[in-house]
Amino acid sequence: MATIRKFSRRLFIITNIVAVILFLLACANALLHPGRWWLFSLLGLVFPLLLLLVLVFFILGLFFPSCRRWSLVSLAALILGWPNIHSFWAFHPGNKFQSAKPPHTLRILTWNIRSFDDYITKKRGASGHKPQMLEFMRGQNADVICLQEFYTSRKSQSGDDNLTYMRDQLHYPYSYFSRDYARPDGSYESGVIIFSRYPFADSLLMRYPKEDKLTAQESLIAADVLAGKDTVRIFTTHLQSVLFKSKDFHDIEIIKNVDDSILMASRSIAKKLRYAFRLRGNQAEQVRAELDKSPHPALICGDFNDVPNSYTYFTIRDGWQDAYIKKGFGIGRTYVHISPTLRIDYILADPRLPVVQCRKFSLPWSDHNPVIADLQLP
């Protein structure tokens, strides 16, 4: 019996120390450029699991006197990792989003609409979700709507002139469109776009360098919105995607189920993740440089394709407010595949624009969920 107790104590101590080390390395991911430290970025993806393990070891250690002092190791790790924990989990359970917009606020909606889902569900023989998505946006009374993976056609007879529809039917007369991908005849144009009910005083477009044909990203754009007596610079962007295809999602299932071909599947996934980590790290630094140049109170929203404890997130945020962390509760998942812990769509605001309220909606029409926030105007 004493031998079993001794073995259990040693096992607890060793696994506790291993979990703490991995957890702290995952936290360090926020400070290390993924171009050089991409393995830390991989650990960052399993940060929620590591956090759970450290919490379990901390709690278990309190119940067993012989292991109690080792629970202090877990507690120290949790204290050191607090900035990462706080960016991962929002602690405001009592805040209920009010549909009526508070006075003297700017309501922002951001959403990766996946081309209104027209090129996914229709291929499977089902009708698209564009009518429901447009109706949802109509009902939110947003002053500014920022969309990623937006597409439109300049050929009105095609029925895909979504830009004109947003302007005339949803009453957003002002827009700025990146047009990152387009056909010469105007039958298809896509990119990020800012729609506004307020006029623009100025605009900005920055295209990220494209290293090869695999690059899947959309530009950083900005518009200076004249909201009454206030001018607010609004940025939106869509950073480098991991470029997962159907085979990659299948490989993830192989890894989850510990299939015989797990090694080959892991190599394929890791290669794509490493490529995307590096590009997003560079893009995040370019974005932060543009944010720092803003002459007006500013905010950025969009699809960063990275988790809250990543180098990308911490570089872009850099002292700004995360609207969901300020007013939300829980993880706030915005990407609906792979894992229930993926929050990769954000609204980050200059401290001069206090966050009044924020909500993440769970909708079935895109692979991303929309996020809405009300910000107090200066």
pLDDT at 243: 63
C-alpha to C-alpha distance for 146 and 323, rounded to whole angstroms: 15
CATH number at residue 344: 3.60.10.10
Same domain, 72 and 131: no
Is 167 contained in some domain?
yes
Containing 144, the helix (H) or strand (E) segment is strand 144-152
C-alpha to C-alpha distance for 314 and 83, rounded to whole angstroms: 10
Is 98 contained in some domain?
no
pLDDT at 264: 44
Is 232 contained in some domain?
yes
User: 242-299: per-residue pLDDT in tens?
Assistant: 764 444 333 334 334 444 444 444 566 777 788 888 999 999 999 999 999 999 999 9
pLDDT at 2: 66
Same domain, 134 and 262: yes
Is 213 contained in some domain?
yes
Reference 356, options 140, 106, 137; nearest CA is: 106
pLDDT at 267: 61
Same domain, 124 and 209: yes
C-alpha to C-alpha distance for 372 and 102, rounded to whole angstroms: 13
C-alpha to C-alpha distance for 319 and 349, rounded to whole angstroms: 9
Residue 160, both tokens = 């895909």
Tokens 């607090």 found at: 82
Q: Which of 23, 57, 88 is the last residue of a domain?
A: 88
Same domain, 62 and 129: no
pLDDT at 252: 35
The number of beta carbons lying within 10 Å of the beta carbon of residue 220 is 24
C-alpha to C-alpha distance for 41 and 34, rounded to whole angstroms: 6
CA angle 23, 265, 248 (to 5 degrees): 95
Answer yes or no: are the C-beta atoms of 198 and 225 closer than 8 Å. yes
pLDDT at 25: 96
CA angle 157, 163, 164 (to 5 degrees): 60
Is 95 contained in some domain?
no
C-alpha to C-alpha distance for 176 and 181, rounded to whole angstroms: 15
User: 49-81: per-residue pLDDT in tens?
Assistant: 999 999 999 998 888 777 778 889 999 999 999
Same domain, 153 and 245: yes
Same domain, 150 and 81: no
Same domain, 6 and 83: yes
* Mean pLDDT calculated for residue range 355-361: 97
pLDDT band of 342, cuts 50, 70, 90: very high
pLDDT at 177: 97
Q: Which of 24, 55, 88 is the last residue of a domain?
A: 88
Phi, psi of 274 (to 5 degrees): -60, -45
User: 150-192: per-residue pLDDT in tens?
Assistant: 999 987 666 789 999 999 999 999 999 999 998 888 788 999 9
C-alpha to C-alpha distance for 340 and 182, rounded to whole angstroms: 33
* Residue 127: C-alpha distances to residues 124, 141, 156 (Å): 9, 26, 20
Same domain, 50 and 144: no
The domain total for the chain is 2
Same domain, 185 and 113: yes
pLDDT at 156: 67
pLDDT band of 127, cuts 50, 70, 90: low
C-alpha to C-alpha distance for 300 and 350, rounded to whole angstroms: 9
Same domain, 43 and 184: no
Is 94 contained in some domain?
no
Same domain, 342 and 208: yes
Same domain, 200 and 132: yes
Is 244 contained in some domain?
yes
C-alpha to C-alpha distance for 20 and 53, rounded to whole angstroms: 8
Q: Which of 55, 88, 121 is the last residue of a domain?
A: 88
- Residues of the domain holding 42: 2-88
Is 126 contained in some domain?
yes
In this predicted structure, the answer to whether residue 369 has a pLDDT above a threshold of 70 is yes
Q: Is 68 helix (H, G, I), strand (E, B) or coil?
A: helix
The residues pairing with 224 across neighbouring beta strands, listed in sequence order, are 202, 233
* Mean pLDDT calculated for residue range 90-109: 93
Answer yes or no: are the C-beta atoms of 67 and 61 closer than 8 Å. yes
In this predicted structure, the answer to whether residue 360 has a pLDDT above a threshold of 90 is yes
